Amino acid sequence: MKQLPKKQETFQLISPKDLLRLPGKKALELILDSPMPVTLVQSLAEEDLFWLVHDIGLEDAMPILSLASNDQWQYLVDLEVWKKDRLEVDSVNRWIGLLLKADHERFLNWGLREHIELIELHLAKNIEVRIKKEDESPSDFDENYFTLDEVFYIRIKDEKYDQVIRDFLEHFASHDLEKFHKVLLELVGVLPSDIEENIYRLRNVRLAEKGFLPFEEAVGIYQHLNPQSLLEKGQQPGKVIKEGRPAQPVPASTSLLIKDQDPFYLSLKRIEDIHVLERLQMEFTAMCNQIISADSLVVRDKEILADAVRKACGYLSIGLEKVTGGDPKKAARLLERLHLHQIFRVGYGAALELKWKTEKWLKDSWFAAQNLGLDFWEEAWEGILEGLLKKRPVFYASLSKGEPYREFRSLEEIKYCHTTLDQVMAVDHLLSMLFAQTVLAHPVQAYHPVTYKNLFLTCWARHHLGLTEGAEPLTIEELKAFFRNLWVKETRPYQIDTRMKQDFLDWLQMRCEQAVTEIPGRADKVLDYIFDELEKEYGSVRLKDLDPKYIKHFLVAS
């Protein structure tokens, strides 16, 4: 009987993006079940392997480490074993142990060939070596010493590293005894500071290609760049940056964290040229790494990477909106012509301009001259001002939304802060005119601290009641007398009598010696908002139930 030909199975290598979308344990199973696990692991960009290993867990990721290339090992070690410019002893021992378990022969070949200085430095810091003299016997060495050749006796300085260093030395001696002897003999001449500085420099050179620049260089990402300079210094109109396909795999982990509603993402979707997309993806990953370096972050948690991605996307989106007016087609053409870090700097420059505007106003403000705290402006405005005055300005997202401060994400948020700042400046100017002849007394003995709202309303109420001018607190009886005139009598809940609103404007005009129509900036809208707030807060409260402990809009004597 004629046999049917066997059906040939074809395997399609899963893409890095699809692999990284999976939970760590599921990705591990998929790799180990693959017919070509080595090819699959080594097809990952070094950045993606880093996150995959951490997602799986270092010990559980041992099969992945055994399949990874030397270059992938190098990237992991470069990121893991340093704390600023110093080797972290715990991390070095952890990774020696992991890579020995992964593939001890390959690790020794690689380490002794390319990282002999690191090995010598680490051993010099962690072991003490004595050579047995002819007249000495093994019993002359205390129990803390051990030997692998009856010549060199070794003591491990910290017992918590005993197992990993002993395992390394045993594998080393078995691998190349002559080299083992040579290294032990040379330990006495090791100069730790010089060697550490040299290997740190080499490490920085390698990581600089990935965007991990030294701090003093990385902070350049935050330099202000205005849109006009961007267009003048960037590529000529119509000239598209096209670079050849990268020699290294294109990282996918950062791009997977981009939210699909970001203007930056929507602009990317319009680009069809694969070479441009790959160039942008490499640049985006490098820029996120530069942000991590500039912010001095230690990244072993994917959420920290996600924060860097959100920051990058936010300021790229703001930069694109500022230059193109929010047109996705124009934004896509801009991405083709310019490098991402230039667009980011335009976006971040918009936040810097807000900070500078705030600092310039604060320097000569009435509020600062009175030595008042930011709480004078109440929670919402206080939060915005505090965010803008930070070393690196951030957006106040309010206390009701978890973390109150975060990076700016859109041009709309920049504009909102400009509008709010204009309102604060206008109210501050109005207060400077209101108190041009009167010094604000400190401290004010009231149930609640002084704010711009209760300062305005208290001063007006005192004038309306024929009391002495100033900001002295009202008694509860004086406040009730004022409220009797404030409300329209027939309405429930209470509404402010339009005559009282006019009375307020007349008082402002008299005190400021300025026509009400000339009230600066957006202060008029703020005053309307204060009246609306009074109706919502007290419109349902009967006069006899007014309790000074719960009244924040007026200064009431405690």
User: So what's the pLDDT on residue 44?
Assistant: 95
Residue 502 tokens read as 């006019």
pLDDT higher than 80, residue 5? no
DSSP 9: P
Residues written for the chain? 558
Residue 254 and residue 285 in contact, taking contact as beta carbons nearer than 8 Å: yes
pLDDT higher than 60, residue 518? no
Mean pLDDT value across residues 246-264:
85
- Confidence band, pLDDT 50/70/90 cuts, at residue 510: confident
Residue 20 and residue 256 in contact, taking contact as beta carbons nearer than 8 Å: yes
Residue 351 and residue 317 in contact, taking contact as beta carbons nearer than 8 Å: no
User: So what's the pLDDT on residue 138?
Assistant: 86
- Confidence band, pLDDT 50/70/90 cuts, at residue 1: very low
Cα dist. 244→36, 153, 247 in Å? Answer: 27, 55, 9
- Confidence band, pLDDT 50/70/90 cuts, at residue 4: very low
Q: Which helix (H) or strand (E) holds 82?
A: strand 82-83
Q: ∠254-115-48 over CA atoms, to 5°? A: 15
User: So what's the pLDDT on residue 63?
Assistant: 96
What's the pLDDT tens digit per position in 36-62?
999 999 999 999 999 999 999 999 999
Residue 518 tokens read as 């000339």
User: So what's the pLDDT on residue 84?
Assistant: 84
Q: Which amino acid is at 533?
A: E
Residue 417 tokens read as 């802060």
The 3-state DSSP composition of the chain as helix, strand, coil percent (nearest 5) reads: 65, 5, 35
- Confidence band, pLDDT 50/70/90 cuts, at residue 247: low
What's the pLDDT tens digit per position in 456-497?
999 999 999 999 888 889 999 999 999 999 999 878 899 999
Residue 10 tokens read as 């074809």
- Confidence band, pLDDT 50/70/90 cuts, at residue 124: very high
- Confidence band, pLDDT 50/70/90 cuts, at residue 401: low
Rounded to the nearest integer, the mean pLDDT of the chain is 89
Residue 254 and residue 313 in contact, taking contact as beta carbons nearer than 8 Å: no
Q: Which of 143, 343, 74 is nearest to 229 (CA)?
A: 343
Give pTM, 2 decimals: 0.86
User: So what's the pLDDT on residue 175?
Assistant: 96
What's the pLDDT tens digit per position in 163-221?
999 999 999 999 999 999 999 999 988 899 999 999 999 999 999 999 999 889 999 99
Percent of the chain predicted with pLDDT > 70: 91
| Strand locations in 97-201 (E) | 127-131, 145-147, 152-156
Query: CB 367: neighbour CB atoms within 10 A?
Result: 21
Cα dist. 381→396, 423, 526 in Å? Answer: 9, 9, 12
Cα dist. 21→24, 258, 342 in Å? Answer: 9, 13, 30
What's the pLDDT tens digit per position in 56-110?
999 999 999 999 999 999 999 999 999 888 999 999 999 999 999 999 999 999 9
Cα dist. 57→61, 71, 446 in Å? Answer: 6, 20, 57
Q: Which helix (H) or strand (E) holds 37?
A: helix 37-42
User: So what's the pLDDT on residue 6?
Assistant: 44
